[in-house]
Amino acid sequence: MLFPTTIAGSLPKPEWLAEPNTLWAPWKSKGEELARAKRDATMLAIKLQEDAGIDIVTEGEQARQHFVHGFLEKIEASTSPTRSRWESGKTATRQWCRRWCRPCG
């Protein structure tokens, strides 16, 4: 195998797990049902990659709400009022970078 293939980043979540195309979309279920839904979404992501012939499959980040989720939760400034300002759709990541990735912002 000259160049193994893989994906970078997360795959879209099924609409039964979380609202598609929504930043920090809330989960559509809770508790054991949510755990089962995340496992099902992960298995689906793996199957899709295998069917596509991807060499190095990932879990597609199906159990994460957002790629910075978890990281932002640990930052003092990411409390709900501040975080809600970042949840403005397409500009959210850009706003986050302006705040935390200086001087690139």
Q: Give the distance from CA 55 to its chain's centroid.
A: 22
Which residues, in sequence order, are CB contacts of 55 under 8 Å at separation 6+? 1, 4, 5, 6
Q: What is the pLDDT of residue 42?
A: 95
Beta carbons within 10 angstroms of residue 89's beta carbon: 9
Q: How many CB atoms within 10 Å of residue 51?
A: 8
Nearest-angstrom CA–CA distance, 44 and 36? 12
Looking at residue 21, what is its pLDDT?
79
Q: Which residues contact 73 (CB under 8 A, 6 or more apart)?
A: none
State the pLDDT at residue 104. 46
C-alpha span between 3 and 15 (Å, rounded)? 33
pLDDT of residue 91: 56
Per-residue confidence in pLDDT tens, the chain, 105 aa: 789 999 988 898 999 999 887 777 889 999 999 999 999 999 999 999 999 999 999 999 998 877 666 666 666 554 544 455 445 444 555 555 566 555 543
pTM: 0.65
Q: For the chain, state the CA radius of gyration.
A: 16
